[in-house]
Amino acid sequence: MGQTIAEKIFDRHLVDKPFRDVCVISLDAVFCHEITTPVAINDLAARNKDRVFDASKIKAVIDHVTPAKDSKTAMQGKILRDWARRHSIRDFFDIGRNGVCHALFPEKGFVRPGYTIIMGDSHTCTHGAFGAFAAGVGSTDLEVGILKGVCSFKKPDSIKINIAGTPPSGVYAKDIILALIARIGVNGATNAVMEFSGEVVDHMDMDQRMTLCNMAVEAGATSGICVPDMHTVDYLWPFIEKDFSSKQAALKAYQVYCPDDDAVYRDQMDFHVSDLEPQVTFGFRPDQVKTVSEMAGTKIDQVYIGSCTNGRFQDLAVAAAILKNKKIDDSVRCIVSPATPDIYTRALESGIIRIFMDAGFCVTNPTCGACLGMSNGILADGEVCASTTNRNFNGRMGRGGMVHLMSPATAAASALTGRITSAADC
Contact partner, 100, from ligand SF4, another protein, none, Cβ < 5-8 Å per class = ligand SF4
Bridge partners of residue 289, in order along the sequence: 281
Q: Which residues contact 82 (CB under 8 A, 6 or more apart)?
A: none
By C-beta, is 100 or 178 nearer to ligand SF4?
A: 100
Compute the distance between CA of residue 90 and CA of residue 167 in angstroms, rounded to an integer: 42
Residues 31, 105: contact at Cβ < 8 Å?
yes
Minimum CB separation from another protein for residue 355, in Å?
31
Beta 29-33 vs 22-26: how paired, if at all?
Answer: unpaired
Q: Which stretch binds ligand SF4 (CB under 6 A): 166-174, 195-203, 358-366, 368-376?
A: 368-376
Q: Does 100 bind ligand SF4 (CB under 6 A)?
A: yes
> Of 47-76, which residues contact ligand SF4 (CB under 6 A)?
64
CA quadruple 120, 124, 127, 133: dihedral positive or negative?
positive
Q: Judged by CB under 6 A, how many residues of this single chain contact ligand SF4?
A: 13
Largest Cα–Cα distance of the chain, in whole Å? 62
Return the one option of another protein, ligand SF4, none that residue 39 interacts with (CB less than 5 to 8 A, by type): another protein
Q: Which of 296, 366, 302 is nearest to 328 (CA)?
A: 302
Residue from the set 28, 107, 121, 195 that interacts with ligand SF4 by CB under 6 A: 121
Verify binding: residue 40, ligand SF4, rule CB under 6 A.
Answer: no
Nearer to another protein, 135 or 412 (CB): 135
Interstrand relation of 279-281 and 333-336 (parallel, antiparallel or unpaired): unpaired
Please give, one letter per residue, the 3-state secondary structure of 369-417: HHHHCCCCCCCCCCCEEEECCCCCCCCCCCCCCEEEECCHHHHHHHHHH
Question: Looking at 139, 208, 307, 422, which residue binds ligand SF4 (CB under 6 A)?
Answer: 307
Closest distance of CB 39 from ligand SF4, Å? 17
- Which uninterrupted H or E stretch holds 31? strand 29-33
Closer residue to ligand SF4 (CB): 98 or 421: 98
Contacts with another protein, residue ranges (CB under 8 A): 15-16, 18-22, 24, 35-36, 38-39, 42-43, 47, 49, 64-65, 70, 72-73, 75-76, 79, 120-122, 124, 136-141, 143-144, 147-148, 150, 152, 154, 186-187, 190-191, 220, 222, 285, 372-374, 391, 393-396, 399
- Contact in structure between 363 and 347 (CB atoms under 8 Å): no
Residues that bind ligand SF4 (CB under 6 A): 64, 100-102, 121, 123, 307-308, 368, 371-372, 389-390
